[in-house]
Structure 1
Amino acid sequence: MTAALKTCSLGDGPALTLVHGWGLNAGVWEDLARALADDFQVHRVDLPGHGAAADETRLGDLDTLADRLAVTLPDAGSTLVGWSLGALVALQAAARHPQRVHRVILVAGTPRFVQAPDWPHAMRLPILDAFAQGLAAQYQVTLNRFLALQFHGLPDAQATLKTLRGRLLDSPPTPKALTEGLGLLRDMDLRPTLAALPCPVHAVFGEYDTLVPAAAETSFRALRPTMRTAVIEGAGHAPFLSRPAEFEAILRSFMHD
């Protein structure tokens, strides 16, 4: 039997399931969940090896993560909001369990995180390789570098970083889960999955995101011309933290496609 993911739920209304990114946990969504709880039933999941699920040690492969996310969803189904690494999990869950997913909203997420000749607006492979090497030596230092990169160039970067680092230190991920997560970011190419999904798919980008550049918007629409996209000015890789009001407004608009 497939085990459900550990989940924290709040509010009442249409279901909205939030999937965090690499190295973090469900706590990263805490402020957004409170803001949405009057109108939505908000579920925040912890991926294996992260947050409340750190006792599992390992993250696991993408198919298993997708299946575990699907059995976590309400019987009536849910919208999936996947941030960064969580975008891969959300896309795969929607592909494998279409009856459980109403729509997918990608937040600074992409079907392919590394560059290819036909996919230029993505990370260079050496950046990910450098993180992997750093993890082998001292993963917490590498995580802090990763977080700093997310908010590079933002005028309020230090305040946002302080909040994010606090939530990370409260529930640190396991080294094995971090390594496996980097492997998914490096190896997965879900572009055919994105193009073929039967449910609506939308995407939110940060103007200053250095990991999933806003310029990728054009590439997304080439794969899926009908998808709605938005770029949040002044935001980095975590727009729901750096520009919460703007992000909430866009998310609410995407819930009425």
Structure 2
Amino acid sequence: MTPPVLAVHGWGFDAGFWMPVLERLPDFRGDCVDMGFYGAPKRPKVPRPLVLAHSMGLAWALANIPRPWAGLLAVNAFPRFTRSPTFVDGVPPRLVERMLTRFDEAPQQVTADFLGRCGIDSPDTSAIAPEPLKQSLAWLGQCDERTALRMLPCPVQALAGTNDPIVPQAMSLASYAPETLVLVEGAGHLLPLTHPDWVASQVRLFAARLEA
């Protein structure tokens, strides 16, 4: 039996981010996490889920979703974001620090600028909830769930773009075992939005492996 899906969005998005993929999987059961960046948070409890995690959603899932999991499909995602002596392929910490410095005075603009860099045209951030976004941004700057990912006792599959402006290819290569990573030539940071048919097909293939 196909395991239930639990989909987790990244920073600046909401539960609706995964809908283009989930609409293509009508026979799958499951639910979506909402971190509350645009309204009330939602933290559904899904037993032994197949976790779909985008961007920061992977680190968040590793830190917050109880085990066991049936499997993990990570998309444009990472267990650690910022550079450190043991993670030289992370982004410079100053990038997150600059966002935090500006956030109190211009939370809507900071969020819109980030979504624009992700590839969202004319993002609407008028309804954001600044405090959850700020707290998650601060956590993003220091989180490190690499050990949790390595210790995860379930199958892992990762999808990434070679032209991702948020998660560079080198970061993806440094984050996953080579046999678990599929790189999409020329793709950016929003595979579930730009390649929903393909991502849905990858979910199906991965779920079939879990059932075998």
Identity of aligned residues (%): 27
Give the structure 2 partner of residue 161 of structure 1: 121
* Structure 1 unaligned spans of 5+: 1-11, 55-67, 152-159
TM-score if structure 1 supplies the norm length?
0.73
Give the structure 2 partner of residue 22 of structure 1: 11
Tell me, what secondary structure is at the counterpart of 1:43? strand
Tell me, in whole angstroms, the C-alpha distance in 2 between the residues paired with 1:235 and 1:73. 32
Contact 1:15 1:41 in 2 (8 A): yes
Contact 1:206 1:236 in 2 (8 A): yes
Give the structure 2 partner of residue 62 of structure 1: none
Tell me, what secondary structure is at the counterpart of 2:110? helix
Give the structure 1 partner of residue 183 of structure 2: 231
Tell me, what secondary structure is at the counterpart of 2:74? strand
Tell me, what secondary structure is at the counterpart of 1:137? coil
Measured against aligned partners, the alpha-carbon deviations of 1:53-74 in whole angstroms (never above 9, x if no partner) come to 16xxxxxxxxxxxxx84xx233
Tell me, in whole angstroms, the C-alpha distance in 2 between the residues paired with 1:198 and 1:25. 28
RMSD: 2.3
Tell me, what secondary structure is at the counterpart of 2:165? coil
Shift of 1:146: 0.2
TM-score if structure 2 supplies the norm length?
0.87
Instruction: Give the aligned length.
Output: 209
Shift of 1:81: 1.0
Tell me, what secondary structure is at the counterpart of 1:204? strand
Give the structure 1 partner of residue 67 of structure 2: 98
Measured against aligned partners, the alpha-carbon deviations of 1:184-243 in whole angstroms (never above 9, x if no partner) come to 11011111111111111221112211221122343234xx46x51111223211111122
Tell me, in whole angstroms, the C-alpha distance in 2 between the residues paired with 1:173 and 1:252. 33
Give the structure 2 partner of residue 110 of structure 1: 78
2:53 to 57, 82, 85: 82
Contact 2:24 2:197 in 1 (8 A): no
Spell out structure 1 runs of 4+ moving beyond 4 A: none
Contact 2:53 2:61 in 1 (8 A): yes
Contact 1:20 1:28 in 2 (8 A): yes
Give the structure 2 partner of residue 50 of structure 1: 37
Specify which structure has the higher proportion of helix. 1
> Comparing 229-238 with 78-87, which one deviates more in the overlay?
229-238
Give the structure 2 partner of residue 201 of structure 1: 156
Tell me, what secondary structure is at the counterpart of 1:203? strand
Tell me, what secondary structure is at the counterpart of 2:175? helix
* Structure 2 unaligned spans of 5+: none
Amino acid at match of 1:98: R
Tell me, what secondary structure is at the counterpart of 1:235? coil
